[in-house]
A and B are shown apart, each in its own frame.
Chain A
Amino acid sequence: MQITLRIRRFNPEKDKKSYWGEYTLDKVDSTDRVLDLLHRVKWEQDGTLAFRRSCAHGVCGSDGMRINGVNRLACKMLVNKLGEGEHIKIQIEPMLGLRVIKDLIVDMEPFFEHYRQVMPYYVNDAPLPENGRERLQSPEDRERFDDTTKCILCACCTTSCPSFWANGVYVGPAAIVQAHRFIFDSRDQAADERLKILSEADGVWRCRTVFNCTNACPRDIEVTRAIGEVKMAIRQGAKRE
């Protein structure tokens, strides 16, 4: 099939403002990834096109972007999910809410800054088991936070959130997901501190339960639910279920 890609372009060394570039690709397979199309544009037509990518199968989190108006990983979105027939158009833009550096590359620093704010690391200062072995955890306790361990920090959720667009100081869904992963880990000891951070003005209460984050997550994490659980934990004074 034939594809017309409309790509939002911006080169900081040349352009005063961004513009749409149009590229036509022939002999596209319906099972090609959007990333394959971007590579074909870059390799065959215009080497200046800039985007991030690495693993190409939805695990590294590099190639989050806005595809036909929704946040997706380019390597996990197949052409056949975007239309049928001999000719389709696909529109690609950088993620919203973060400064565009070049073409589809946005400044990830504010995103990682929010990540670092929520103590996204395991804290347990209790003495280690005397037998030199692992701390024990029941399969049920392990299951409790399984969903949020899947996060790959691609920023698809945070940059699809209207509250984040409206005010970039909001820590955003991804940071809350990271906090959730530790708050509900029975081995961790810093839940109270994280809940305190997230109960502040820039924390969970800016979430308006729009569900964009859940829809955007390429790892199928129930992001809105995780945020809801954190809200509940704050209300209950950090008492775990």
Chain B
Amino acid sequence: MQTHEFEAIIVGGGGAGLMAALYASRQVKTAVISKLYPTRSHTGTAQGGIGAALGNLDEDHPEWHAFDTVKGGDYLTDQNAALVLAEEAVSAVIELEHLGLPFDRTPDGRISQRRFGGHTSNFGGQPVRRACHAADRTGHMILQTLYQQCIKNNVKFFDEYHVVDVIRVGDQVAGVIAVNLDSGELHIFHSKAVLFATGGWGRVWEITSNAHSLTGDGNSIVYRRGVPMQDMEFFQFHPTGIYRLGILITEGVRGEGGILLNDRGERFMERYAPKIKDLASRDVVSRAIHLEIQAGRGIKGKNYVYLDVTPETVNRYLAEAGETRRVTREDIESKLPDILDFCRTYLGVDPVKEPMPIQPTAHYGMGGIPTDLDGLVVLDEKNTPLSGLYAAGECACVSVHGANRLGTNSLTDLIVFGRRAGKHMAEYCKSAAVTPLPNNPAEEIEAELERIRTANGKTKPYQIRNEMQQIMMKHVSVFRTADGIQEAINVLHHLQDQYHHDLMIDDRGKRFNSDMFEAWELGSLLDLAEVTAVSALARQESRGAHSREDFSKRDDEKWLVHTLAYREADGSIRLAHNKPVDLSLAAKDEKFKPKERVY
């Protein structure tokens, strides 16, 4: 078994991982390990923009951005983190431009910005242009730019190496175990520090915007090694996924003037968010769509509604609102080229001529691996660190998104907290001693992979995965009840039993055994599905993306706390609800105090 020595190891080659790699590699010996070629990472699918209060087109201030982030998160957001995000977003976006990112430009040559859901001026006023964009492929440009700069700076990559375990020695980290997918051989990466930037776990659900590879590996790896999962009950359903496919249609469509319509042709968001209508927070819009469908007002009575960005419709509503701006077919073509391409390719629908059929799609995990503001992983409500272990991006929970993330803040999060984690990690590595490797650090994971590779039960991984995705979609999605969640938990337990005792694998080989790795990834998904459901059952209130029909109100008395879910030795889950939410901005400014959230 080959052993590699580095000071810093970064797992995952998306936005957070590459940003951290750029910073860490300037100071210490760093390697990036990714199960994909880094340019395949899901950051590349982010569309509409990255949020930063540049104020290039409208007056804007970081404090306004922080306020929107806190309110958008339904006050579960840690306010110190929201302020860091909003303040450092400005320098982060400028840094990306300096690294060559081709942002769209204003007529006078500055970075162009557009409106996005939940982003307002003056602490909850009118929509503000804050999303810095490069057409509707901002994430693609960020991923490409960061990868290019890593190439320029000779960052060491291990592409198509699948990390399967972290080496933990007491309260220290000593590296990771990975499989070279081509050869099937295990490799040990011995290091002083490890950063997980492995992205999300949207594949827990049936309808999702997430890539097949988004299986929450990093989260389940550290969870199995004693790190709690924070706030996992909060998973965002993006309101506008392509009907049945779940492919994301950016909020930028509504930012450019697109309107949601039900079967009667009604602009129903006027009823749910009278002030900012279609540009309300994602959780609010997703619930509205569900309620319209439940009331029989889905298109032709089915479970979808229309998103209409045809110039006639957009201009009609602009005129109604007294705005002088008008859009043309060419504007839509130039600002949303990828969206048009998706709809034309997959639906045969041309969005400049007809409305797009959409439904909410599982999109983003607000929860994840708990960290402090420097990306250092913490183990409990007292923020006790696990030395040398870091997390950033979607897999992490800073917690800057609280109970519901605002659009554009995921990209901001990657850059701001990826940068902070990379810097902190480098400093740590310069002073930390190397933790010696334990004997046979790969023993356990080797046995588990061998169990899967040679499994000869009767149930194929896809059967278990389909059943998990369906039950989670049915009972642990936009609206939830105790009975439904409990049923989901019962089914998940049965599926876990099948996974451990009745799995059937066809491929007994070593090389590119994706049959085995899909099964291993399913193990991660099952872990995270269960943590999500158990966390959701316990939280008896409705807040942000967690909407309980049986507890329809937010309850700040009891539930203004983070959830921490620990894995016990017997595999069961222990919950703690004693980690307070940071309210440091509210302590200084009345405006940040939790209050009812209306848009």
By a beta-carbon cutoff of 8 Å, the part of chain A in contact with chain B is 11-14, 31, 33, 42-44, 46-48, 50-51, 53-62, 76, 78, 101-103, 105, 108, 112, 116, 119-124, 128, 132-139, 142, 145-146, 149-150, 152-153, 182, 185, 187-188, 220
Contact = CB atoms under 8 A, between A and B. Distances in A.
A149 B134 contact: yes
Nearest to B338: A59
18 contacts: A11-B509, A31-B348, A42-B514, A44-B460, A47-B515, A48-B509, A54-B42, A56-B211, A57-B45, A57-B245, A58-B345, A59-B338, A101-B512, A103-B512, A121-B100, A121-B148, A134-B98, A149-B102
B152 interface: yes
A62 B36 contact: yes
Contact of A120 (B141, B151, B515): B151
A70 to B, nearest CB: 16
B39 A54 contact: no
A139 B105 contact: yes
A39 B338 CA distance: 25
Given A31-B346, A121-B149, A128-B98, A60 B44 contact: yes
A48 B505 CA distance: 9
Given A47-B507, A138-B105, A139-B105, 14 more contacts: A13-B511, A55-B40, A56-B211, A58-B341, A101-B511, A108-B37, A120-B151, A122-B100, A124-B100, A134-B94, A139-B106, A149-B137, A153-B39, A220-B341
A16 B506 CA distance: 20
Nearest 9 Cβ contacts at the A-B interface: A122-B100, A47-B506, A136-B109, A43-B462, A47-B515, A121-B148, A121-B152, A134-B97, A48-B507
Nearest to B248: A57
B110 interface: yes
A53 B509 contact: no
Contacts, number: 154
Contacts of A152: 39, 44, 140
Interface in B86-111: 91, 94, 97-100, 102-111
Contact of B151 (A31, A121, A128, A146): A121
Nearest to A133: B94
A138 B109 contact: yes
B213 interface: yes
Contacts of B462: 43-44
Contacts of A182: 100
B42 A137 contact: no
A185 B512 contact: no
B102 A136 contact: no
B595 interface: no
A139 B103 CA distance: 10
Contacts of B151: 116, 120-121
B395 interface: no
Nearest to A142: B105
Nearest to B509: A13
Contact of A59 (B102, B140, B148, B505): B140
A122 B145 contact: yes
A142 B100 contact: no
B483 to A, nearest CB: 31
B100 A185 contact: yes
Contacts of A13: 509-511
Interface string B513-547: 11100000000000000000000000000000000
B414 interface: no
B57 to A, nearest CB: 13
Given A48-B507, A139-B107, A57 B98 contact: no
B502 to A, nearest CB: 15
Most buried by B among A57, A78, A153, A220: A57
B232 to A, nearest CB: 23
A12 B45 contact: no
Contacts of B346: 31, 33, 57, 78
A190 B135 CA distance: 25
A123 B148 CA distance: 10
A152 B44 CA distance: 9
Interface string B339-355: 00110011110000000
A147 to B, nearest CB: 11
Nearest to A103: B512
A48 B504 CA distance: 12
Contact of B97 (A53, A101, A135): A135
Contacts of B110: 133-134, 136
Given A13-B509, A136-B110, A60 B102 contact: no
Nearest to A12: B511
Contacts of A220: 341
Contacts of B105: 136-139, 142
A39 B289 CA distance: 31
Contact of A105 (B103, B342, B512): B512
Given A48-B506, A108-B37, A135-B98, A60 B512 contact: no
Contacts of A78: 345-346
Contact of A60 (B106, B211, B513): B211
A82 B416 CA distance: 45
Nearest to A120: B148
Nearest to A112: B37
B370 to A, nearest CB: 27
Contacts of A31: 346-348
Nearest to A178: B148
B476 interface: no
Contacts of A137: 105, 109
B182 A101 contact: yes
A60 to B, nearest CB: 4
A149 B341 CA distance: 16
A60 B505 CA distance: 27
Interface in B109-143: 109-111, 134-135, 137, 140-141
Contact of A76 (B97, B100, B345): B345
Nearest to A115: B151
A150 to B, nearest CB: 7
